[in-house]
Chains A and B, each alone.
Chain A
Amino acid sequence: MITMQHVCKTYKVSKRDAGFSSAFKALFHKEYEYIHALDDVSFTISDGEMVGYIGPNGAGKSSTIKILSGILTPEQGTCLVNGMTPWKNRIAYVKNIGVVFGQRTQLWWDVPVMDSFELLKEIYRIDTPSYRRTLTELTEMLGLSSLLQMPVRQLSLGQRMRCEIAASLLHDPEILFLDEPTIGLDAVSKLAVRDFIKKRNQEKNTTVILTTHDMQDIEALTDRVILIGKGSILLDGTIEDIKTGFESTEEALAAFYRSHHI
């Protein structure tokens, strides 16, 4: 169970114009601008639900994920995930979540994938029998058997992403955050990743929160969509709510963004 209530997050960004003289001025006097990344965001997600979290770039998607995974602390509002506040008691909290950042790798670059997994086993203090069981399961479902002995730098993006997802699930978390898991993947890999997420959600009842720009991800995976723009939630419903009257979801979404001036 995830509840977020009236969460606000503001970033302080130094403002300056282009050009050398203003860069020089900024050395002595900085002007700051406050950007409201999240402005009174509230929602509830129940156990085993799969939710698509969408919105244009800079809408506050990543900020939300970072708050939910305990990386950032909001200025205002409360957030409870399985009865715990993410940014308090970090170490106890993160044992139960898995996070995939699609644009960053968490695997060791020069060594075989297996070595990274072994290290994660140690980091999460997973006992050997359950580690073996989870690993066999994940290897089978994600088709990793031929990849485990390869150094990460030799993997293709699609292969690597499958390994990333496996790495985030080794400790068998109850909640999985996926930040753009299909970014840059080819059709085959995308399908494999989607398939896996769906299965995982159905079989293990893992709660999944997914951010993406790919509307097909959303159509294939989630019933519920939370749409965020300029830091506030604009819509919490199904994909059909946005789609009404349009042929493709993409067009519908673009029209929706335009109508909200985002």
Chain B
Amino acid sequence: MRLYGKYFVIHLKSVMVYKTSFLLTCIGQFLVSFNVFLGVYFMFQRFHVVEGFTYNEALLCFGITLMEFSLAETFARGFDLFSYIVNKGEFDRILVRPRNEILQVLGSRMEFSRIGRIFQAIVMFAYGFAVSDVSWNLLKILTVILMILGGSVVFGGLFLIYASICFFTTEGLEFMNIFTDGAREYGKYPVCIYGKRVLQLCTFMVPYALIQYYPLLYLLDRGKAYYSLLPVVACLFLLPCLLLWKLGVRHYTSSGS
């Protein structure tokens, strides 16, 4: 953990070297997600209610999903850019250092410009929070925290799968973005609106529903109490991801001289 802190500081120092670039990227990130927000806004101008969810409720949902994704992207960026790390031979260097590979990959890249997105998520969440009719109590606040943590873990796991595939193909596979960026886009609305099949898929295959739909129902007093703990269950998703990663490391063949 101390090592991770050191990595954090060194990235912060690097970022400070290029202040203008950093600021502009942040603003860009903010504007991109703002676009998505406008999409949701205009949609609800027309329909007011989608599958039983009001505008404010959807906003709450979107805010949380965006936050989860941005956090994962900030800290698991090394996995997102893993094909680059393998191709440049940086992974060789990682292997000759006496520390866990995953920790080193996490430490090798951190994307602070994602703060633009996180900020957007906070604004949206705060707004959804303020206008929604949720009667907040300690347990519900805890649920939100669990959702954010569990969500970051699930997205982190997806990035890990993405990275593990690089061991076999040396290039990242773009189709994986369906699960990462795609989930962020579709996460604007509670997943149940896409139909029952998708909901099942998102419950048992890639557990998006466990970090988004079910706990949200609980927040809105429409779900059972145990729904609030489902994000913890979603963390189990990390296990098969780690397994794939281990397999990949064993398969690793390095690149060039």
Contacts and interface: CB of A to CB of B under 8 A. Distances in A.
A95 interface: yes
A151 B17 contact: yes
Interface stretch (B1-9, B36-44, B182-190, B204-212): B1-9
Nearest to B256: A62
Contacts of B17: 110-111, 151
Contacts of B14: 108-111
B84 to A, nearest CB: 13
A6 B99 CA distance: 30
Interface residues of A, number: 36
Contacts of A104: 88-90, 92-93
B10 A111 contact: yes
Contacts of A116: 10
A178 interface: no
B97 interface: yes
B13 interface: yes
A27 interface: no
A119 B10 contact: yes
Interface stretch (A63-71, A76-84, A139-147, A220-228): A63-71
Interface residues of B, number: 27
A215 to B, nearest CB: 19
Interface in A81-118: 90-92, 94-95, 97, 99, 101, 103-104, 106, 108-111, 115-116, 118
A122 B254 contact: no
A109 B104 CA distance: 17
A180 B256 CA distance: 14
A119 B96 contact: no
B6 A124 contact: no
A72 interface: yes
B195 interface: no
B98 A71 contact: no
A207 to B, nearest CB: 16
B170 to A, nearest CB: 11
A63 B95 CA distance: 14
B18 to A, nearest CB: 8
A124 B98 CA distance: 6
A179 interface: yes
Interface of A: 11, 57, 61-62, 66, 69-73, 90-92, 94-95, 97, 99, 101, 103-104, 106, 108-111, 115-116, 118-119, 122-125, 151, 179-180
19 contacts: A61-B257, A66-B254, A70-B96, A71-B95, A73-B250, A90-B95, A91-B99, A91-B100, A101-B89, A104-B93, A108-B10, A110-B13, A110-B14, A110-B17, A111-B13, A119-B6, A123-B97, A123-B98, A123-B99
